Structure 1
Amino acid sequence: MRTPSRRRPRVTLAMAAAGTLLAPLLSGCWVGAGGSGSGGDSINVLMVNNPQMTELQKLAPRFTQETGIKVNFTVLPENDVRDKISQDFANQAGQYDVATLSNYEIPIYARNGWLHEMDSYVAKDPGFDQQDILQPMRESLTADDGKLYGEPFYGESSFLMYRKDVFAAKGLTMPAHPTWQQVADLAAKVDGAQSGMRGICLRGLPGWGELMAPLTTVVNTFGGTWFDKDWKAQLTGSGFEKATKFYVDLVRKHGESGAPQSGFAECLNNMTQSKVAMWYDATSAAGLLEANGSPVKGKLGYVPAPVEQTKSSGWLYTWAWGIQKASRNPDKAWKFVSWASSKQYEELVGRSDGQTGGWSNVPAGKRASTYTNPDYVKTAAAFQEMTKEAIESARPNDPGVQPRPAPGIQFVDIPEFTDLGTKVSQEISSAIAGRQSVDSALKKSQQLAEKISKEYKGR
Structure 2
Amino acid sequence: MQKPGKKLSFLIAGAAASALVLSGCSGAGSTGGGDAADNTITVLMVGNPQMEDIQKLTADNFTKTSGVTVKFTILPENELRDKVTQDVANQGGQYDAVTVGAYEVPIWAKNGWLHELSTQAGADSAYDTADLIKPMVQSLTGDDGKMYAAPFYGESSFLMYNKEMFEAKGLTMPEKPTWAQVADFAAKLDDKNKGVAGICLRGLPGWGEMFAPLTTVVNTYGGTWFEKDWTPKVNAPEFKEAANFYVDLVKKHGESGAPQAGFTECLNTFGQGKAAMWYDATSAAGTLEDPNSSKVAGKVGYAYAPVNKTEYSGWLWTWAFAMPKTTKKQDNAWKFISWATSKDYEKLVGEKLGWSRLPSGKRTSTYSIPEYKESAKAFADITLGSIENANPTNPGLQPRPALGVQFVGVPEFADLGTKVSQELSASLAGSKTVDQALNDGQKLAEEVAKNYK
- When normalised by structure 1's length, the TM-score is 0.88
Can you give the 5+ residue segments of structure 2 that lack an aligned partner in the other structure?
A: none
Relative to structure 2, which stretch is displaced further, 71-80 or 197-206? 71-80
Match of 1:77 in 2: 75
Q: How does 1:143-162 map to 2 (within 5 A)?
A: 143-162=142-161
Q: Secondary structure at the match of 2:71?
A: strand
In the alignment, is the contact (CA less than 8 A) between 1:200 and 1:276 conserved in 2?
Answer: yes
Q: How does 1:271-290 map to 2 (within 5 A)?
A: 271-290=270-289
Letter in 1 for 2:36: G
Q: Distance in 1 between matches of 2:434 and 2:57?
A: 49
Q: Secondary structure at the match of 2:450?
A: helix
Letter in 1 for 2:412: E
Match of 2:359 in 1: 363
Relative to structure 2, which stretch is displaced further, 178-187 or 338-347? 178-187
Match of 2:257 in 1: 258
Match of 2:188 in 1: 189
**Residue 43 to residue 21, structure 1, CA distance change in 2 (3 Å):** same
- For the pair 1:15 / 2:22, whether they are aligned, the reply is no
CA deviation after TM superposition for structure 1 residue 151, in Å: 0.5
**Residue 234 to residue 154, structure 1, CA distance change in 2 (3 Å):** same
Runs of 4+ in structure 1 off by over 6 angstroms are 20-23
Q: Secondary structure at the match of 1:284?
A: helix
Letter in 2 for 1:340: A
In the alignment, is the contact (CA less than 8 A) between 2:305 and 2:314 conserved in 1?
Answer: yes
Match of 1:313 in 2: 313
In the alignment, is the contact (CA less than 8 A) between 2:31 and 2:92 conserved in 1?
Answer: no
Match of 2:208 in 1: 209
**Residue 81 to residue 438, structure 1, CA distance change in 2 (3 Å):** closer
In the alignment, is the contact (CA less than 8 A) between 2:15 and 2:86 conserved in 1?
Answer: no
CA deviation after TM superposition for structure 1 residue 281, in Å: 1.2
Q: Distance in 2 between matches of 1:148 and 1:25?
A: 31
Q: 2:435 aligns with which of 436, 439, 446?
A: 439
Instruction: Figure out how many residues of one structure are paired with residues of the other and give that number.
Output: 445
Match of 2:127 in 1: 128
Relative to structure 2, which stretch is displaced further, 58-67 or 173-182? 58-67
Q: Distance in 2 between matches of 1:195 and 1:9?
A: 50
Cα-to-partner distance string for 1:1-44 (whole Å, 9 max, x where unaligned): xxxx3x45864442235567998588xx9975345535136362
**Residue 179 to residue 38, structure 1, CA distance change in 2 (3 Å):** farther
Q: Distance in 2 between matches of 1:300 and 1:428?
A: 30
Relative to structure 2, which stretch is displaced further, 139-148 or 221-230? 139-148
Match of 1:373 in 2: 369
In the alignment, is the contact (CA less than 8 A) between 2:290 and 2:354 conserved in 1?
Answer: no
CA deviation after TM superposition for structure 1 residue 412, in Å: 1.7
Letter in 2 for 1:388: L
**Residue 413 to residue 302, structure 1, CA distance change in 2 (3 Å):** same
Letter in 1 for 2:121: V
Match of 1:164 in 2: 163
Q: 1:45 aligns with which of 1, 17, 42?
A: 42
Letter in 2 for 1:248: V
Letter in 1 for 2:211: M
Match of 2:224 in 1: 225
- For the pair 1:392 / 2:388, whether they are aligned, the reply is yes
Q: Distance in 2 between matches of 1:383 and 1:149?
A: 29
In the alignment, is the contact (CA less than 8 A) between 2:290 and 2:357 conserved in 1?
Answer: no
Q: Distance in 1 between matches of 2:31 and 2:379?
A: 45
Q: Distance in 1 between matches of 2:16 and 2:189?
A: 40
Match of 2:102 in 1: 103
CA deviation after TM superposition for structure 1 residue 80, in Å: 4.7
Letter in 1 for 2:374: K
Q: Secondary structure at the match of 2:348?
A: helix
**Residue 161 to residue 54, structure 1, CA distance change in 2 (3 Å):** closer
Match of 2:197 in 1: 198
Q: Distance in 2 between matches of 1:20 and 1:185?
A: 44
- Residue identity over aligned pairs, in percent, reads 55
